[in-house]
Chains A and B, each alone.
Chain A
Amino acid sequence: QQQVKQSPQSLIVQKGGISIINCAYENTAFDYFPWYQQFPGKGPALLIAIRPDVSEKKEGRFTISFNKSAKQFSLHIMDSQPGDSATYFCAASSSRVGGADGLTFGKGTHLIIQP
């Protein structure tokens, strides 16, 4: 059962444009929503993360928008650059009893920034 649904599967954006990736979740126990960036041959690296008590978090060109009632969150990349070309994963986890807090990932979005 896929608990985090991510779209689109692939995205092409012109340099300087805005890249938008969306995710929806089902489990209301999730309390941590990170976005990971992965380059070919590398492990995922944390980009930005948000907790459900805020609706938006911005770090440089990267912004997470969070809608708790709709159970949706999105990543916005402003002024997209060719170096941003990578695969992006949304994820979610919860602080469950016993400390089990493994991440549940979306299927990923392959982002290409055209120069």
Chain B
Amino acid sequence: EAGVAQSPRYKIIEKRQSVAFWCNPISGHATLYWYQQILGQGPKLLIQFQNNGVVDDSQLPKDRFSAERLKGVDSTLKIQPAKLEDSAVYLCASSLDRGSFNEQFFGPGTRLTVL
């Protein structure tokens, strides 16, 4: 079974530029999550999708971050404009369905460096 795919794996940008990350979840997984992992910390939830609808975006900085999952499969996370403090690894995870007991499978992440 293929895992969660993410691209790019690494991205370096200047502050105030924009950037987008892509995630392809495990086939058949209805629930998709984006997490931000700052160096030396645990992942922090940014947004949760159920199919193509948003379930929870309470921790997403909506003035600069946006995310979509238009067809209920792939998802993109965008930052515009980027700030220095956005330097982090952005992790995508998916689960078969929502419900806390469903295992979340994580992708390898995209490491973003903002200069």
Closest Cβ neighbor of B106 among chain A residues:
A43
Mark each residue of chain A from 73 to 115: 1 if its CB lies under 8 Å from any CB of chain B, else 0: 0000000000000000101011100111111111110000000
Size class of the contact patch on chain A: 20 to 34
Size class of the contact patch on chain B: 20 to 34
Contact call B48/A46, Cβ cutoff below 8 A: no
Mark each residue of chain B from 37 to 56: 1 if its CB lies under 8 Å from any CB of chain A, else 0: 00011111100101000011
CB-CB contacts below 8 Å: B38-87 with A: 40-45, 48, 50, 55-56
Contact call B55/A100, Cβ cutoff below 8 A: yes
Contact call B91/A100, Cβ cutoff below 8 A: no
Contact call B42/A41, Cβ cutoff below 8 A: no
Closest Cβ neighbor of B50 among chain A residues:
A99
Contacts of A42 in B (CB 8 A): 108
Contact call A44/B100, Cβ cutoff below 8 A: no
Closest Cβ neighbor of B101 among chain A residues:
A32
Q: Closest CB of chain A to B10's CB: distance in Å?
A: 10
CB-CB contacts below 8 Å: B78-108 with A: 91, 93, 98-108
Contact call B48/A43, Cβ cutoff below 8 A: no
Contacts of A89 in B (CB 8 A): 42-43
Question: At the interface, yes or no: B25 with Cβ under 8 Å from chain A?
Answer: no
Contact call B101/A51, Cβ cutoff below 8 A: yes
Contact call B40/A99, Cβ cutoff below 8 A: no
A interface residues, Cβ below 8 angstroms from B: 4, 6, 31-32, 34, 36, 41-46, 49, 51, 89, 91, 93-95, 98-108
